[in-house]
Structure 1
Amino acid sequence: MTEKSIIFFDIDGTLLDHDKKLPLTAKEAIFSLKDLGHEVAIATGRAPFMFADLREELEIDTFVSYNGQYVVLNGQVLYKNPLDQEALHSLTELALKNDHPIVFMDHEDMKANVAHHDYIVESMESLKIAQFPSHDPLYHEDRDIYQSLLFLQDQEETIYEEEYKQFDFIRWHPLSIDVIPAGGSKAIGIDKITTELGIHKGNQYAFGDGLNDIEMLRQITNSVAMGNAHPSAKQAAAFVTSSVDEDGILQGLKKVGLLK
């Protein structure tokens, strides 16, 4: 086991504020960690192509994406866990009948099964990213899809949860949920990295704020929930820091003793 530490950061609501901006104190804190010899990584529900600019800005090449389904260590793919193709095909057919559009996502791109839908527009615009899914209803056939986005209102996912036990459904927007392999989580992706690097649990840290961070925050001994976090995320974490727009990253790193 190595004695160096590794710190995993969620993106939305953790590294990025509500305007999808990276606070200067957070950026400076990350480079301070690197200067001290620590490993810094990202753990997000986003696709790799959705945060390439952020990785470049922070000089990070280790990440857990798609809530643990596509993991990269030092620029090399370490772990892949795609959705069950047969079940995804069935879910897509049911969703189409219910007027619930789907976006299929692999490691390079994302495609929608409908040409236009207001739910897709509103949800994707909230991410404030350059990419927008184009139309390709057959994109999920004969390729690995690591996550899908299902667009529907709150509680409408119940029919899918009951029918498709191969998947977990995690809401990230009032009009959209993530569809990932059952049992998949950021925690599993993180474990792949920490095992490969030989980093002891006592030297593992994680920062998050959302429902998709709960398993990660429970697993990591030194876990930190942002002040703006969902109540369930705060309950799962060992520590709670201030909100993302109140220097939450810097204050949290001080709280766990990584920075002074």
Structure 2
Amino acid sequence: MSTYKILFLDIDGTILRPDDTMEDSTKKAVQLMKAQGIEVFLATGRPLHEIAEIAETLSIESFIGYNGAYAIYKGTDVLKEPISPELVKSYVQIAQQNNNELFLYTSTHNLLTHPNSPITKEFARKFHLHKNKTYTEEEIDNILGITIIHAKEEDIHRYEQFENIHLSQVNIEGFRHAYDVISDKVNKGKAVSKILNTLQFKKEEAIAFGDGLNDKEMLSIVGEGFAMGNADERLFSYAEHKTTSVTDSGIYNGLKSLGLIK
């Protein structure tokens, strides 16, 4: 029996290649882990209501979404941490002042501050965000995650002026103008810790793969953290291992290096 019990996989740049396809080796790796009784979670910044097709392809039923604000284990909620309405209101105001655009995510749909903007439409197409509505303050209490798009480097400090908040640049070519809002108290690492405690697994029994700075807390907290070969270079210091890229069987090769694939 494997000494490992649980595996966390980021989606964009980790499972999905730049052209949004998935390598056969990735599908095989997940299948082999499940056959060994290892629990597999998708751990993403995406809203969970938009990843059904990926989950179905890999036969995965457990998830961390919204960069750690919401986690589900086989249909049961493990945690749900909305962003404070005060912070949401401040971010909407800052975005208006700096001509940035926002995607705000609830548990059932996405709220867009500029739904007709070409750059908003491009982002929605790239990340397959279909359940979209125009943002109104009536939903301010329901926000689980925020992505800032069309942002310039000089805009970043305006959003990071709030305590325990930092931005994570989207690690996808052509979308480096987009930043996920990450809380030091609500992130993928905190969600992983909660799941490990709930399932009574040790961190040494956990593996994770990621490519972006929104994965740094997750890779730091598990026993075997893998940064993809295509990862943001700043992520490598947070990972125990570096594997090959998403276009070169990175997940498969990483798991093979642990002896989980022969």
Is the TM value for this pair above 0.5?
yes
CA apart distance, 1:53: 0.9
Structure 1 letter corresponding to 2:193: D
Match of 1:107 in 2: 107
* C-alpha contact (below 8 Å) 2:110/2:129 kept by paired residues: no
TM-score, normalised with respect to structure 2: 0.91
TM-score, normalised with respect to structure 1: 0.91
Matched, 1:224 2:226: yes
Aligned equivalents of 1:244 and 1:139: distance in 2? 40
> What secondary structure is seen at the aligned counterpart in 2 of 1:116?
coil
RMSD: 1.9
Match of 2:142 in 1: 144
> What secondary structure is seen at the aligned counterpart in 2 of 1:157?
helix
Match of 1:207 in 2: 209
Match of 1:168 in 2: 166
Question: What does residue range 81-96 of structure 1 map to in structure 2 within 5 Å?
Answer: 81-96=81-96
Question: What does residue range 179-218 of structure 1 map to in structure 2 within 5 Å?
Answer: 179-218=181-220
Moved more, 167-176 or 13-22: 167-176
CA apart distance, 1:194: 1.0
* C-alpha contact (below 8 Å) 1:208/1:224 kept by paired residues: yes
* C-alpha contact (below 8 Å) 1:119/1:175 kept by paired residues: no
| Alpha-carbon distance change, 121 to 155 in structure 1, aligned in 2, over 3 angstroms | farther
Aligned residues: 256
Residue segments in structure 2 that go unaligned for 5+ positions in a row: none
Alignment counterpart, residue 247 of structure 2, candidates 239, 242, 245? 245
Residue segments in structure 1 that go unaligned for 5+ positions in a row: none
Aligned equivalents of 1:179 and 1:201: distance in 2? 25
Match of 2:155 in 1: 156
Moved more, 86-95 or 241-250: 86-95
Matched, 1:74 2:74: yes
CA apart distance, 1:182: 4.2
CA apart distance, 1:115: 3.8
Match of 2:49 in 1: 49
| Alpha-carbon distance change, 115 to 31 in structure 1, aligned in 2, over 3 angstroms | closer
* C-alpha contact (below 8 Å) 2:115/2:121 kept by paired residues: no
| Alpha-carbon distance change, 139 to 180 in structure 1, aligned in 2, over 3 angstroms | farther
- State, as a whole percentage, how many aligned pairs show the same letter: 29
Match of 2:180 in 1: 178
